[in-house]
């Protein structure tokens, strides 16, 4: 609760700072504020108490928000990702200096939505969280009103997102009808008893709504278009923060609601396997880097969905957080490089990256590391994330799923290497552009964090276990 309030307040401070002509202070103040909240969240997750002199009693808020270790661990990850995204903002929106407060404030409100999505203790909080996140993303996706592609992406995302929220809301209404409460612990207690058939339908509709948000395969068709058309920084937000938030929330939902439906786990397995295979196969023939990363994101959603097979709940939560962190840091690093290479060009085709290994070896190295991490090559945390996840699934005895997952991650090496080969073997056709310091800093920090959590997994796991 305290984290949510602090971040929402920070967003409002951004908007007020614009009124008082303090535009230069917005980004530094936001980043410092976010670091403070991050410290608070990590401390609370580690030690269970806070350094504040007062304590907010969550019972006083009717358990709307539950700050358990799961919620705090994921909140810390989201805050860290937002720090990166805010640090990229001023250079990306150089031509729109007067609007910088809007872009930063919307990202902060998006973060509130993301935190509400993992920390909910009540279905109404869950719904508000998912809507705050989605509406902020609609605005960001369409934030270049004169660009036809951005219009199209915004419109498509809006229609699909609103459609998915409608389905999700109908599911929530049916669950309410069956149980008579929105409170998550009460629903969990009631779900073992005999309930009307509406309950099953409601659970399935909630899952479908969330599968839309994480872009798992039968519901993924919007993702590539929206990722390609949106401004690159928004694509970075969607593919890291929004995807990880929706995934964390889906995991919490699946482990909370028991839909009384034989074979629903099989359905989720099919969705996960299809996401991995289809995402990776279609990514092979993409020439646009944003589209390629969109399909890569679809396949990673498939891997993360597999985390619902566990023997030890706390370990499963830790593994999911670890996977999400590894994926998101690699994603941020990759997008920081994409921003600096394709910033002014208006397209993100692979040929833009030709010869990057010679013209800017640092950025080329960072992008290589990020892609290798996503592909799951050792020493990067992407490998350890897959390793922990697969051993968790094997412990449950789901060998077939692991075979599919390993095959699809071998396929994925194909398209990640396409980009790496373009960077190192082809010659550059264009002259070198100066790269803003912020992009390089973010890229290097994100990849350093990725390698650090690969070497010391307990940095992340310790937050939850």
Could you say whether residue 198 binds other proteins (CB under 8 A)? Answer: yes
Nearest to 67 by CA among 31, 96, 42: 42
CB count within 10 Å of CB 338 equals: 26
**Cβ 454 vs Cβ 380: under 8 Å:** yes
> Cα dist. 341→29, 48, 200, 413, 444 in Å?
28, 43, 48, 22, 15
**Least distance between other proteins and beta carbon 130 (Å):** 10
Q: Which is nearer to other proteins, 315 or 349 (CB)?
A: 349
Stretch that binds other proteins, among 81-89, 125-133, 211-219, 303-311 (CB under 8 A): 125-133
Tell the burial category of 413 from Cβ atoms under 10 Å away from its Cβ (0-12, 13-18, 19+). middle
Could you say whether residue 176 binds other proteins (CB under 8 A)? Answer: yes
Angle between the N-to-C axes of helices 197-214 and 264-283, in degrees from 0 to 180, rounded to the nearest 10: 20
The contacts found for 30-34 with CB under 8 angstroms, 24 or more apart, are 30/86, 30/104, 30/108, 31/83, 31/86, 31/87, 33/6, 34/7, 34/10, 34/79, 34/82, 34/83, 34/86
Could you say whether residue 11 binds other proteins (CB under 8 A)? Answer: no
Kindly state the helix (H) or strand (E) to which residue 214 belongs, with its residue range. helix 197-214
**Least distance between other proteins and beta carbon 217 (Å):** 16
Could you say whether residue 102 binds other proteins (CB under 8 A)? Answer: no
Q: Which is nearer to other proteins, 76 or 286 (CB)?
A: 286
**Least distance between other proteins and beta carbon 165 (Å):** 7
Could you say whether residue 348 binds other proteins (CB under 8 A)? Answer: no
DSSP 164-178: HHHHHHHHHHHHHHH
Instruction: Out of 1, 9, 29, 173, name the contact with other proteins by CB under 8 A.
Output: 173
**Least distance between other proteins and beta carbon 98 (Å):** 18
Instruction: Out of 162, 189, 284, 403, name the contact with other proteins by CB under 8 A.
Output: 162
Structure token pair of residue 162: 């609103």
Instruction: Out of 50, 63, 89, 124, name the contact with other proteins by CB under 8 A.
Output: 124
**Least distance between other proteins and beta carbon 170 (Å):** 5
From residue 318 to residue 337, what is the string marking binding to other proteins with x (rule CB under 8 A)? --------------------
Q: Considering just the CA atoms, what is the radius of gyration of the chain in Å?
A: 21
Q: Which is nearer to other proteins, 72 or 172 (CB)?
A: 172
Using CB under 8 A as the binding rule, the residues of this chain from 274 to 303 that contact other proteins are: 286, 288, 291
Q: Which is nearer to other proteins, 286 or 368 (CB)?
A: 286
Q: Which is nearer to other proteins, 61 or 138 (CB)?
A: 138
Stretch that binds other proteins, among 89-97, 124-132, 270-278, 369-377 (CB under 8 A): 124-132
Q: Which is nearer to other proteins, 141 or 333 (CB)?
A: 141
Stretch that binds other proteins, among 43-51, 150-158, 242-250, 419-427 (CB under 8 A): 150-158
Task: Write the DSSP symbol of residue 312.
Answer: S
Distance (Å, whole) CA 187 – CA 179: 7
Q: Which is nearer to other proteins, 124 or 428 (CB)?
A: 124
Could you say whether residue 155 binds other proteins (CB under 8 A)? Answer: yes
Instruction: Out of 18, 91, 102, 225, name the contact with other proteins by CB under 8 A.
Output: 225
Q: How far out from the chain centre does Cα 96 lie?
A: 26
Could you say whether residue 163 binds other proteins (CB under 8 A)? Answer: yes
Stretch that binds other proteins, among 163-171, 257-265, 405-413, 417-425 (CB under 8 A): 163-171
Angle between the N-to-C axes of helices 264-283 and 289-305, in degrees from 0 to 180, rounded to the nearest 10: 160
């149980």: which residue's tokens? 179
Nearest to 417 by CA among 298, 295, 224, 284: 284
Nearest to 294 by CA among 275, 274, 273, 269: 275
Q: How many residues sit close enough to other proteins to count as binding (CB under 8 A)?
A: 44
Using CB under 8 A as the binding rule, the residues of this chain from 226 to 255 that contact other proteins are: 228-229
Instruction: Out of 138, 264, 387, 424, name the contact with other proteins by CB under 8 A.
Output: 138
Q: How far apart are the first and last CA of the chain?
A: 21
Stretch that binds other proteins, among 63-71, 222-230, 242-250, 384-392 (CB under 8 A): 222-230
Stretch that binds other proteins, among 64-72, 178-186, 240-248, 344-352 (CB under 8 A): 178-186
> Cα dist. 330→89, 258, 281 in Å?
18, 34, 21
Nearest to 336 by CA among 244, 228, 429, 437: 437
Distance (Å, whole) CA 364 – CA 423: 7
Interface positions with other proteins (CB under 8 A): 123-124, 127-128, 131, 134-135, 138-139, 142, 145-146, 148-149, 151-156, 158-159, 162-163, 165-166, 169-170, 172-174, 176-177, 180-182, 198, 224-225, 228-229, 286, 288, 291
């Amino acid at each position: 609760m305290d984290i949510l309030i602090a971040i929402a307040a920070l967003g409002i401070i951004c908007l007020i700072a614009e009124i008082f002509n303090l535009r230069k202070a917005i980004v530094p103040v936001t980043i410092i504020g976010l670091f403070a909240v991050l410290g608070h969240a990590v401390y609370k997750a580690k030690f269970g108490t806070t350094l504040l002199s007062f304590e907010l009693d969550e019972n006083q808020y009717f358990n709307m928000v539950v700050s358990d270790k799961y919620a705090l661990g994921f909140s810390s990850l989201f805050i860290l990702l937002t720090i990166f995204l805010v640090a990229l903002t001023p250079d990306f929106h150089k031509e729109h200096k007067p609007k910088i407060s809007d872009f930063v404030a919307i990202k902060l409100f998006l973060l509130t939505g993301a935190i509400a999505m993992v920390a909910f203790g009540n279905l109404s909080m869950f719904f508000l969280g998912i809507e705050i996140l989605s509406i902020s993303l609609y605005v960001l996706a369409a934030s270049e009103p004169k660009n036809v592609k951005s219009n199209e992406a915004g419109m498509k995302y809006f229609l699909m997102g609103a459609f998915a929220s409608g389905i999700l809301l109908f599911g929530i209404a049916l669950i309410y009808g069956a149980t008579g409460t929105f409170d998550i612990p009460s629903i969990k207690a009631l779900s073992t008893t005999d309930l009307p058939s509406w309950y099953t339908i409601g659970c399935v509709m909630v899952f479908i709504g969330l599968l839309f948000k994480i872009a798992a395969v039968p519901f993924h068709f919007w993702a590539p278009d929206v990722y390609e058309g949106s401004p690159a920084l928004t694509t970075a937000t969607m593919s890291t923060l929004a995807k990880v938030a929706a995934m964390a929330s889906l995991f919490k939902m699946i482990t909370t609601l028991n839909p009384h439906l034989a074979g629903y786990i099989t359905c989720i397995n099919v969705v996960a396997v299809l996401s991995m295979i289809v995402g990776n196969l279609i990514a092979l023939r993409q020439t646009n880097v944003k589209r390629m990363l969109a399909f890569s994101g679809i396949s990673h959603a498939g891997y993360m969905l597999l985390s619902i097979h566990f023997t030890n709940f706390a370990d499963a939560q830790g593994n999911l957080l670890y996977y999400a962190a590894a994926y998101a840091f690699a994603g941020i690093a990759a997008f920081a490089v994409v921003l600096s290479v394709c910033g002014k060009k208006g397209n993100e085709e692979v040929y833009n990256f030709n010869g990057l290994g010679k013209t800017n070896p640092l950025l080329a190295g960072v992008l290589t590391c990020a892609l290798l991490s996503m592909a799951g090559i050792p020493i990067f945390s992407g490998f350890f994330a897959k390793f922990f996840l697969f051993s968790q699934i094997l412990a449950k005895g789901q060998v077939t799923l692991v075979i599919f997952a390993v095959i699809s991650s071998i396929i994925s090496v194909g398209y990640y290497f396409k980009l790496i080969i373009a960077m190192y073997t082809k010659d550059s056709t264009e002259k070198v552009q100066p790269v803003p310091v912020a992009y390089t800093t973010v890229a290097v920090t994100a990849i350093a964090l990725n390698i650090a959590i690969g070497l010391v997994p307990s940095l992340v796991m310790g937050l939850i276990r």
